[in-house]
């Protein structure tokens, strides 16, 4: 199955590459959405939204200036799609972190301009034969994105195997902030979390989530929206079918060990939506799971 060719793209959608868009040394194909609402860039590698700039505004997403754009390597920033598992695979810790799909090339199968001026893109991917020995399930994933004055991202994961498939995932948003000190995440007050900086001990968050040093927290079974407030904007993250919220920033010390983060760690916070840990899914043979995350301007 091939990508749409350029003539099949609707108005406001075009192909470009990471060098032209971001000045990267690696040159990977990207899709650009440029409409009255926004300008957005999506990489075919990982079906990863890399930039979303509402008209007259600044980018909601952070992309590392040192991001690499080569197959088999994760792109640091934007919204990586981590699946068919999130983080370290709990059943087989030796498998690649965050699943196979964030560093594989997806296919762009549809690009549609909607009556209200929004653009919808549909990307698809299937499990690769070479992965079967490590993860013995066959599955398909459709990622649909709707770009308007909000960014909607919907995942549909289908299990086409004869047995139940363990599924966890995350839509791993890197949200741009201007000064980590002023970044505040609300909507998690009174919720328990697994502290990934302290052997996943279960703890309680009281009040707002702030960022002093490394933060790596998994909130399960969340029924609320999150609001991310910085000195210059307020964003809302909401979701259905993705009740796990992961909040992450490496802090200065860990960031120094990450070649594609380094001293840029203060430019983003990750507020991710997915299903992981207690929210992990047992996806029956032939069944599918749908999840949607929406980023919007908060009042």
CA atoms within 13 A on the CB side of 76: 19
Respond yes or no: is residue 280 known to be catalytic.
Answer: no
Can you give 20-74 as a three-state secondary structure string? HHHCCCCCCEEEEEECCCEEEEEECECCEEEEEEECCCCCCECECCCCCCCCCCC
Residues 277-296 that bind ligand G6P (CB under 6 A): none
Binding mask 148-187 for ligand G6P (x = CB under 6 A): ----------------------------------------
Respond yes or no: is residue 178 known to be catalytic.
Answer: no
Q: Which of 144, 220, 272, 280 is catalytic?
A: 272
Closest residue by Cα to residue 185 from 238, 228, 243, 236:
228
Shorter beta-carbon distance to ligand G6P: residue 50 or 270: 270
Q: What is the dihedral of CA 34, 175, 157, 148, to 10 degrees?
A: -30
Q: Closest approach of Cβ 285 to ligand G6P, in Å?
A: 29
Q: Closest approach of Cβ 235 to ligand G6P, in Å?
A: 17
Residue 144's region, left for phi above 0, alpha for psi from -120 to 50, else beta, is: beta
What does each C-alpha distance from 257 to 181, 253, 254 come to in angstroms? 21, 7, 5
Closest residue by Cα to residue 196 from 144, 143, 246, 146:
246
Binding mask 28-67 for ligand G6P (x = CB under 6 A): ----------------------------------------
Q: According to the binding rule CB under 6 A, does residue 74 interact with ligand G6P?
A: yes
Shorter beta-carbon distance to ligand G6P: residue 84 or 87: 87
Residues 201-260 that bind ligand G6P (CB under 6 A): 216, 246, 248
Shorter beta-carbon distance to ligand G6P: residue 119 or 171: 171
Q: According to the binding rule CB under 6 A, does residue 270 interact with ligand G6P?
A: yes
Shorter beta-carbon distance to ligand G6P: residue 32 or 170: 170
**Distance of alpha carbon 147 from its chain centroid, rounded?**
15
What the block records as the tokens of 169 is 């995932």
CA distance 171 to 247: 12
Q: Which residue among 68, 98, 122, 227 contacts ligand G6P (CB under 6 A)? A: 98
Shorter beta-carbon distance to ligand G6P: residue 80 or 241: 80
Q: According to the binding rule CB under 6 A, does residue 273 interact with ligand G6P?
A: no
Shorter beta-carbon distance to ligand G6P: residue 106 or 248: 248
Q: Which of 144, 172, 220, 292 is catalytic?
A: 172
Sign (positive or negative) of CA dihedral 185, 82, 49, 108: negative
Binding site for ligand G6P (CB under 6 A): 74, 87, 97-98, 196, 216, 246, 248, 270
Residues taking part in catalysis: 172, 272
């Amino acid at each position: 199955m091939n990508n749409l060719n350029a003539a099949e793209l609707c108005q406001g959608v075009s192909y470009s590459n990471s060098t032209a868009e971001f000045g990267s040394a690696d040159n990977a194909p990207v899709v650009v959405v440029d409409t009255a609402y926004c300008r957005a860039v999506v990489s075919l590698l990982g079906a990863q939204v890399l930039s979303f700039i509402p008209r007259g505004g600044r980018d909601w997403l952070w992309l590392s200036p040192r991001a690499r754009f080569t197959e088999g390597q994760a792109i640091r920033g934007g919204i990586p799609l981590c699946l068919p598992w999130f983080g370290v695979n709990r059943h087989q810790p030796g498998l690649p972190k965050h699943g196979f799909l964030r560093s594989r090339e997806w296919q762009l199968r549809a690009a549609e301009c909607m009556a209200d001026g929004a653009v919808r893109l549909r990307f698809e991917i299937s499990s690769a034969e070479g992965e079967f020995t490590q993860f013995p399930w066959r599955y398909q994933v459709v990622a649909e994105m709707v770009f308007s004055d909000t960014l909607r991202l919907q995942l549909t994961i289908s299990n086409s195997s004869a047995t139940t498939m363990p599924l966890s995932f995350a839509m791993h948003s890197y949200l741009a902030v201007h000064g980590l000190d002023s970044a505040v995440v609300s909507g998690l007050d009174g919720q328990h979390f697994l502290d990934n900086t302290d052997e996943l001990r279960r703890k309680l968050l009281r009040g707002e989530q702030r960022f002093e040093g490394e933060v790596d927290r998994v909130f399960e079974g969340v029924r609320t929206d999150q609001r991310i407030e910085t000195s210059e904007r307020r964003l809302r993250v909401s979701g259905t079918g993705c009740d796990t919220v992961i909040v992450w920033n490496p802090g200065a010390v860990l960031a120094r060990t990450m070649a594609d983060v380094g001293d840029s760690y203060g430019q983003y916070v990750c507020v991710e939506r997915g299903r992981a840990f207690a929210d992990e899914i047992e996806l029956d043979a032939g069944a599918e799971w749908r999840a949607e995350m929406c980023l919007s301007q908060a009042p």
